[in-house]
């Protein structure tokens, strides 16, 4: 049986994308994988031996995550997919009412502009008027939000709200094609607003330069027919999901990581929400946004375009859609599949007895395992200047790099040894407890996790986290280096 491994888990499988196993049940396959890759234990199971809540297992297109199914033989010819969170049927009339549709009209210029839509039997004049009547909120104006906004504006959506708190920076230009060099240091919401107006001057554009949180999310989405999640962090994703359930607004979800992308529709006509699929975010040390995983440029365009297509289908009321389904696209393996997503009666927010009745902020530091416990000994840190001074003075130090391979290829740190966080416990003998050990990563977050992991493994030597990570040290040049890059 073939097992496909999603990108966010491949570091536990020696970067393997697929593995052949002899077993014919989920438990047999998982046992064989765990025997073959000991590091998998940390990634898939918690300390109680339970499958982590952010992991889903699919056999073919069916969800086999329920442990009661794990000793049942997998249907012949089916493959398994291990899918962690990074995030059908035909609509009946769409989400725009007939009353709203009849309140708008198309002038001669619009008939000419949208003639390609009018020629499609499923859209026609009625469908185009629904598009014009639609009010859509797009949260995030970056890699995913760019293509979503551009295509919805080009399609003739009447009102678009753009919400983003960030400003345009040079690294954004690699994948955020809605922005250009002239937009650097401008608010993304304002930059995207100008591009949308250039595409369709009839679209009403509302740009808000704010960060969505529990205190403002209900007002941000109030009065809109559809919300499109183009964010890049777990806190925003769960707040948006919960708010959309509370307000009864469908949510078009999209996510990208390295070469893979996901699209789904949540909270549509009693369908599942994000928490039905992934009840909780990834555990500490397994969060892609902490790992700075990177993304190939065109992937965001592919996924964003699919999000825009799903939005238009919901607005018009045509075709099949992704409510109750998750589309996974693997551009590196040239593979895609539509996976089943079930509504959970015990869901915290959309189940029969919800425990979440209002949006709540989630401490991202705590989600990543980075928030200091007052009862726990604080993690010692070292300033970039102090580390540079000690290196220049030739002081005995052990520097451990816990970054991903692709990060190290971009920015190297001479003299550091490489130990992934998941291997620290069994490789602690490589460290000299008589010397200070300094852990380094990109932003100084994973290095904190590394120190905590090493302590839990019983290491007694002095260990430090590089404060601010290599991002804070890039401007420091050592005498034996011409520069960092």
Least-confidence region, from 53-62, 80-89, 441-450, 474-483: 474-483
pLDDT band at 82 (very low <50, low <70, confident <90, very high): confident
CB atoms within 10 A of CB 10: 15
225 close to 244: Cβ distance less than 8 angstroms: no
CA distance 219 to 21: 50
Least-confidence region, from 119-133, 273-287, 363-377, 387-401: 363-377
- CA separation, residue 225 to residues 114, 200, 322, 328 (Å): 22, 20, 17, 25
Identify the residue with better confidence: 286 or 97.
Answer: 97
**CB proximity list for 388: less than 8 A, separation 6 or greater:** 473, 476, 478
Least-confidence region, from 1-5, 182-186, 280-284, 474-478: 280-284
pLDDT at 89 over 50: no
- The pLDDT of residue 239: 94
**DSSP 8-state secondary structure symbol assigned to residue 272:** -
234 close to 209: Cβ distance less than 8 angstroms: no
- The pLDDT of residue 205: 98
Identify the residue with better confidence: 290 or 81.
Answer: 81
pLDDT at 371 over 90: no
Q: Coil, strand or helix: which one is 227?
A: strand
Indicate the average pLDDT of the chain. Answer: 87
Which residues are catalytically annotated?
Answer: 290, 441
pLDDT at 45 over 80: no
Q: What is the mean pLDDT of residues 292-315?
A: 91
CA distance 134 to 468: 44
- The pLDDT of residue 91: 47
Q: What is the mean pLDDT of residues 149-168?
A: 97
- CA separation, residue 349 to residues 240, 251, 267, 276, 345 (Å): 12, 14, 10, 9, 10
433 close to 454: Cβ distance less than 8 angstroms: no
Q: What is the mean pLDDT of residues 96-119?
A: 93
Looking at domain 381-472, which of 3.30.1050.10, 3.40.250.10, 2.60.40.650, 3.40.50.300 is its CATH number? 3.40.250.10
- The pLDDT of residue 485: 38
DSSP labels, 148-208: HHHHHHHHT-SEEEEE---B--GGGGGT-TT--GGGTTSBHHHHHHHHHHHH-TTSEEEEE
**CB proximity list for 107: less than 8 A, separation 6 or greater:** none
Least-confidence region, from 43-52, 87-96, 276-285, 458-467: 87-96
Q: Coil, strand or helix: which one is 356?
A: coil
Q: What is the mean pLDDT of residues 285-304?
A: 72
Q: Which of 101-105, 146-150, 371-375 has the highest mean pLDDT?
A: 146-150
pLDDT at 222 over 70: yes
**CB proximity list for 30: less than 8 A, separation 6 or greater:** 44, 70
Strands (E), 238-281: 251-257, 260-266
- The pLDDT of residue 161: 98
CA angle 340, 96, 352 (to 5 degrees): 45
Identify the residue with better confidence: 84 or 111.
Answer: 111
Tell which residue, 461, 466, 326, has the closest CA to residue 399: 466
Which residue ranges make up each domain of the chain? Answer: 2-84, 134-367, 381-472
Exposure of 114 in the CB half-sphere (CA atoms within 13 A): 29
Backbone angles phi, psi at 392, to 5 degrees: -60, -35
Least-confidence region, from 69-73, 256-260, 357-361, 402-406: 402-406
pLDDT at 326 over 70: yes
Spatial strand order of the sheet with 226-229 comes to: 204-208, 159-163, 135-139, 226-229, 251-257, 260-266, 325-330, 335-340
Note the pLDDT tens digit of each residue in 413-435: 888 999 988 788 889 999 999 99
Q: Which of 11-20, 211-220, 437-446 has the highest mean pLDDT?
A: 211-220
Percent of the chain clearing pLDDT 70 (strictly above): 89
Q: What is the mean pLDDT of residues 88-96?
A: 63
Least-confidence region, from 27-41, 264-278, 344-358, 383-397: 27-41
CA distance 262 to 70: 25
pLDDT band at 33 (very low <50, low <70, confident <90, very high): confident
CATH class of 2-84: alpha beta
Q: What is the mean pLDDT of residues 367-371?
A: 50
Percent of the chain clearing pLDDT 90 (strictly above): 57
Q: How far is CA 173 from the centre of its chain?
A: 19
CB atoms within 10 A of CB 283: 18
Q: What is the mean pLDDT of residues 204-208?
A: 97
- The pLDDT of residue 365: 53
pLDDT at 90 over 50: no
Q: What is the mean pLDDT of residues 286-309?
A: 78
The strand pair at 159-163 and 62-63 is best described as unpaired
Note the pLDDT tens digit of each residue in 226-278: 999 999 888 899 999 999 999 999 999 999 988 999 999 999 999 999 999 98
With 0-12 CB in 10 A as exposed, 13-18 as middle and 19+ as buried, what is 307? buried
40 close to 32: Cβ distance less than 8 angstroms: no
pLDDT at 444 over 90: no
pLDDT band at 208 (very low <50, low <70, confident <90, very high): very high
273 close to 267: Cβ distance less than 8 angstroms: yes
381 close to 466: Cβ distance less than 8 angstroms: yes
- The pLDDT of residue 76: 82
pLDDT at 144 over 90: yes
Strands (E), 303-371: 325-330, 335-340
Q: Coil, strand or helix: which one is 43?
A: helix
Identify the residue with better confidence: 207 or 32.
Answer: 207
> What is 134-367's CATH topology?
Rossmann fold (3.40.50)
Q: What is the mean pLDDT of residues 335-362?
A: 91
Please give the model's pTM, rounded to 2 decimal places. 0.70
């Amino acid at each position: 049986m073939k097992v496909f491994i999603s990108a966010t888990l491949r570091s536990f499988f020696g970067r393997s994308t697929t593995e052949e196993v002899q077993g014919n049940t989920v438990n047999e396959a998982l046992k064989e994988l765990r025997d073959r890759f000991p590091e998998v234990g940390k990634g898939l199971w918690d300390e109680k031996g339970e499958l982590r809540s952010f992991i889903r297992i699919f056999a073919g297109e069916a969800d086999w995550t329920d442990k009661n199914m794990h000793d049942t033989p997998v249907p012949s010819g089916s493959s398994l997919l291990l899918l962690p969170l990074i995030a059908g049927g035909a609509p009946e009339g769409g989400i725009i009412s007939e009353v709203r549709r009849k309140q708008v009209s198309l002038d001669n210029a619009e008939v000419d502009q949208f003639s390609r839509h009018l020629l499609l039997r499923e859209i026609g004049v009625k469908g185009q008027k629904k598009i014009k009547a639609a009010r859509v909120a797009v949260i995030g104006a970056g890699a995913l939000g760019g293509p979503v906004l551009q295509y919805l504006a080009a399609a003739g959506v009447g009102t678009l709200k753009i919400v983003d708190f960030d400003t345009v920076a040079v690294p954004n230009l690699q994948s955020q094609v809605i922005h250009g060099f002239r937009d650097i240091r401008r608010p993304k919401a304002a930059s995207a607003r100008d591009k949308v107006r250039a595409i369709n001057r009839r679209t009403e554009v509302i740009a808000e330069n704010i960060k969505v949180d529990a205190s403002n999310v209900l007002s941000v989405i109030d009065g809109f027919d559809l919300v499109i999640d183009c964010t890049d962090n777990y806190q925003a994703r769960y707040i948006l999901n919960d708010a959309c359930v509370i307000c009864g607004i469908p949510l078009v979800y999209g996510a990208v990581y390295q070469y893979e992308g996901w699209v789904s529709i949540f909270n549509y006509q009693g369908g599942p929400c994000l928490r039905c699929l992934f009840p909780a975010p990834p555990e500490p040390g397994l969060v892609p946004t902490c790992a700075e995983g990177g993304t190939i440029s065109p992937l965001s365009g592919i996924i964003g375009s699919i999000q825009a297509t799903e939005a238009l289908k919901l607005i018009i009321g045509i075709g099949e859609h992704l409510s109750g389904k998750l589309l996974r696209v693997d551009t590196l393996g040239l593979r895609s599949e539509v996976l089943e997503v079930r509504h959970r009666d015990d869901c915290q927010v959309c189940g029969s007895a919800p425990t979440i009745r209002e949006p709540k902020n989630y401490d991202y530091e705590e989600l990543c395992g980075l928030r200091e416990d007052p009862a726990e000994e604080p993690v010692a840190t070292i300033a970039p200047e102090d580390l540079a001074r000690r290196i220049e003075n030739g002081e005995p130090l052990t520097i451990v790099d816990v970054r991903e391979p692709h990060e190290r290829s971009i920015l190297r740190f001479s003299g550091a040894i490489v130990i992934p966080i998941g291997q620290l416990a069994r490789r602690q003998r490589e460290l000299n407890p008589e010397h200070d050990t300094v852990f380094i990563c990109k932003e100084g977050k994973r290095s904190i996790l590394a120190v905590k992991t090493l302590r839990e493994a019983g290491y007694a030597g002095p260990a430090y986290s590089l404060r601010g990570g290599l991002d804070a040290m890039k401007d420091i040049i050592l005498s034996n280096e011409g520069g960092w890059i």
